[in-house]
Structure 1
Amino acid sequence: MTRYSRIAGTGSYLPPRRLSNQDLAEQLAAGGIETSDEWIVERTGIRSRHFADEGVCTSDLGAHAARAAMEAAGVKPEQIDLIIVATSTPDMVFPSAACIMQAKLGIVGCPAFDVQAVCSGFVYALTVADAMIRTGSATRALVVGAEVFSRILDFKDRTTCVLFGDGAGAVVLEASDTPGILATDLHADGRHVGILCVPGTVSGGQVLGDPLLKMDGQAVFKLAVGVLEEAARATLEKAGRTAADIDWLIPHQANIRIMQGTAKRLKLPLDKVVVTVDRHGNTSAASIPLALDAAVRSGQVQRGDTLMLEGVGGGFTWGAVLLDF
């Protein structure tokens, strides 16, 4: 009998501190940086985002989201036999956020590791978990995207600091005899490392380079729409489906223009696109599972719907997952 994987439950968590564009504009003005709600909304579609309080780590956000996903799936901690966390902002250099989260969840013994593909991280992590379940290496996986991007933002650069937020999303992925994840498609092109990166590291107890986010927004935009369309079409072809079969497109929530551009290329109406970027900002690896959980809990996404998840991020990485929910 062929072994597949299906999403059994979803969960998410946003730190309580919400900053509207006006809040952020006032904060930046104190440092001599000018921006406005109108400027941010027009260029990005973002109206607010959430920032974690000092002392709150990626693993804390992820654990909250994971508990919600396990509750939705009716799964106890001891039933989880794989943990994969997608993050670019782990709690520490090592061990992984996944191992720290594993302890917070009271799970013992199963493999736990991080995946670092920036904003494509959740798509990468879901693909890895699906492969491990299909081969029998796992039966029930916790796949989490969690970030505290507020810690790596340059608040003197209004073109980047207004874009990002903190949060976490999670799914429980479990073995099934009926297809859930239908096909995946992952890519990277390291020639574009410089257009989106945090060019710093730790050495000898000091930070080398610059530990704050740098982005060439125009270059990212030009690459993103094209590669997202290619990945979506490749995934559909692998699954023997067409764009007309997609009930909901759940893209990485980076910029409303990129999301709309991708939908247009796939000839999908905008009312089939799940949008949370206005409320959450860009939460990197957390954005897709956050949007998925929001859509599930609002009743937007129903069991039996066909979903296209797709992400693009620093690296340059990109990928897509087609699944029957």
Structure 2
Amino acid sequence: MKARITGVATYLPERTLSSAEVERRIEGYVPQRGIVERLTGIRARHVAHDDQQASDLAAEAARRLDHDGADLLIFASASQDMVEPATAHIVAAKLGLSCPVFDVKNACNSMLNGIQVAEALILSGAHRRVLVCSGEVPSRAVRWRVRDRTQFAESFAGYTLSDAGAAVLVTADAGRGIFYRAFAADSTAWEVGTLPGGGSAHPRDEEYSYFRGDGRRLREAFELAGPDIFRNALKRTGLGWDDFAVVAVHQVALPYLRVLAETLEIPADRLVVSLPEHGNCASATLPLQLALGGWRPGDRVALLGLGGGISTGVLLAEM
């Protein structure tokens, strides 16, 4: 028995914000005009309505799939509606599902890890039809009143992020499905990028409710982790990137994406570039690229994950 991805859907809020509009919205410190798009390649990002929560975006995506008969729902997202209960309960209630539920959380790799957990539970025989969904609403944690250049740089990651919902249906299949997965982490770098508020460390201080990070240190952390986890996936399966219809890579900035693609020698016609028009959709990024990619049933796809913390992951599947 294998676990196969039998459905992928996304929900992108219709409201968008250009990088120029982002810069004009910042109060206090005035950033150099055009700097966000120049450094990241992002032209636009999606913004949820004020009354939409993370669960709403996940539910909207899930409604676009045939999720009848799902015997488990996993909400896998960096965002959440509230600290308690698990957002999975709220999504299930909105979908009218009565199956078991729980949350998986690992920054931008949340969906990739959610699929990993779904596969493991299917292979164990515990479940046969798992709905993995995400609702990312990072727009609620962007710092718009900026004190100075230092605080702007510390808050810069927030100006790249985009709201989005995603859903993936993982089903037991006797024929094809996920055939390789590998994950790694360097948790000594967890402080490089954080959203500190809402937990036991900073439960109620508004100052800690914004994204903060060091882009240079984050890039260095990923460079130190190295690309071997992705190269080994090819070595151990005897495949090349040309054997995949879609190679989905988590994307935070076009310059870094180009470096990674060149290092791994990923052909341009296999790479789905979602960043310019959709921004960094956090954990919804890989499902979004699958939805945008031109694969057909039976094709192979590769999912390459990069997440804060920091973590990396790769999953290869026959659709």
TM-score, length-scaled by structure 1: 0.89
Residue 226 of structure 1: CA displacement? 5.8
Q: Give the counterpart letter for 2:57 in structure 1.
A: L
Superposed CA deviations along residues 272-299 of structure 1, whole A, max 9, x for unmatched, are 210111111111111111221122xxxx
Residue 140 of structure 1: CA displacement? 0.7
Structure 1 range deviating more: 303-312 or 203-212:
203-212
Task: Give the direction of change, closer, same or farther, for the CA distance of 1:244–1:292 in structure 2 (3 Å limit).
Answer: closer
Task: Give the direction of change, closer, same or farther, for the CA distance of 1:174–1:167 in structure 2 (3 Å limit).
Answer: same
- Work out whether residues 244 and 301 of structure 2, in 8 Å CA contact, stay in contact via their aligned partners in 1: yes
In the alignment, does 2:233 pair up with 1:235? Answer: yes
Task: Give the direction of change, closer, same or farther, for the CA distance of 1:123–1:238 in structure 2 (3 Å limit).
Answer: farther
- Work out whether residues 168 and 286 of structure 1, in 8 Å CA contact, stay in contact via their aligned partners in 2: yes
Q: Give the counterpart letter for 2:136 in structure 1.
A: E
Residue 184 of structure 1: CA displacement? 0.8
Unaligned runs of 5+ in 1: none
Counterpart of 2:15 in structure 1 is 17
Residue 130 of structure 1: CA displacement? 0.8
Alpha-carbon distance in 1 for matches of 2:32, 2:165: 27
Task: Give the direction of change, closer, same or farther, for the CA distance of 1:139–1:160 in structure 2 (3 Å limit).
Answer: same
Counterpart of 1:151 in structure 2 is 140
Alpha-carbon distance in 1 for matches of 2:138, 2:84: 18
Counterpart of 2:129 in structure 1 is 140
Counterpart of 1:284 in structure 2 is 282
Residue 62 of structure 1: CA displacement? 0.2
SS of alignment partner, residue 315 of structure 1: coil
Counterpart of 1:248 in structure 2 is 246
Residue 225 of structure 1: CA displacement? 5.0
Alpha-carbon distance in 2 for matches of 1:229, 1:98: 33
Alpha-carbon distance in 2 for matches of 1:226, 1:220: 10
Structure 1 range deviating more: 241-250 or 19-28:
241-250
SS of alignment partner, residue 109 of structure 2: helix
SS of alignment partner, residue 189 of structure 2: helix
Alpha-carbon distance in 2 for matches of 1:187, 1:293: 26
Alpha-carbon distance in 1 for matches of 2:241, 2:278: 27
Superposed CA deviations along residues 137-195 of structure 1, whole A, max 9, x for unmatched, are 11111111221001112222262232111101111110101121111111222100111
- Work out whether residues 86 and 103 of structure 2, in 8 Å CA contact, stay in contact via their aligned partners in 1: yes
Residue 41 of structure 1: CA displacement? 2.4
SS of alignment partner, residue 64 of structure 2: helix
Counterpart of 1:172 in structure 2 is 169
Counterpart of 1:105 in structure 2 is 95
Of the candidates 310, 313, 318, which is equivalent to residue 307 of structure 2? 313
Counterpart of 1:264 in structure 2 is 262
Task: Give the direction of change, closer, same or farther, for the CA distance of 1:266–1:226 in structure 2 (3 Å limit).
Answer: farther
Report how many aligned residue pairs link the two structures.
Answer: 310
- Work out whether residues 169 and 290 of structure 1, in 8 Å CA contact, stay in contact via their aligned partners in 2: yes
RMSD between aligned residues: 2.0
Superposed CA deviations along residues 199-258 of structure 1, whole A, max 9, x for unmatched, are 223569733871211111112223335646222223334434334423321011211222
In the alignment, does 2:197 pair up with 1:196? Answer: no
Counterpart of 1:182 in structure 2 is 179
Task: Give the direction of change, closer, same or farther, for the CA distance of 1:283–1:111 in structure 2 (3 Å limit).
Answer: same
Q: Give the counterpart letter for 2:88 in structure 1.
A: A
SS of alignment partner, residue 139 of structure 2: helix
Of the candidates 65, 68, 76, which is equivalent to residue 64 of structure 2? 68
Counterpart of 2:79 in structure 1 is 89
Alpha-carbon distance in 1 for matches of 2:214, 2:21: 25
Task: Give the direction of change, closer, same or farther, for the CA distance of 1:205–1:24 in structure 2 (3 Å limit).
Answer: closer
Superposed CA deviations along residues 31-58 of structure 1, whole A, max 9, x for unmatched, are 443243x422221111000111222100
Of the candidates 211, 214, 225, which is equivalent to residue 212 of structure 2? 214
- Work out whether residues 6 and 174 of structure 1, in 8 Å CA contact, stay in contact via their aligned partners in 2: yes
- Work out whether residues 242 and 267 of structure 2, in 8 Å CA contact, stay in contact via their aligned partners in 1: no
- Work out whether residues 228 and 318 of structure 1, in 8 Å CA contact, stay in contact via their aligned partners in 2: no
Q: Which runs of 4+ in 1 moved over 6 A?
A: none
- Work out whether residues 58 and 148 of structure 1, in 8 Å CA contact, stay in contact via their aligned partners in 2: yes
- Work out whether residues 228 and 312 of structure 1, in 8 Å CA contact, stay in contact via their aligned partners in 2: no
Counterpart of 1:294 in structure 2 is 292
Alpha-carbon distance in 1 for matches of 2:273, 2:224: 20
Alpha-carbon distance in 2 for matches of 1:168, 1:15: 8
Alpha-carbon distance in 2 for matches of 1:246, 1:190: 31
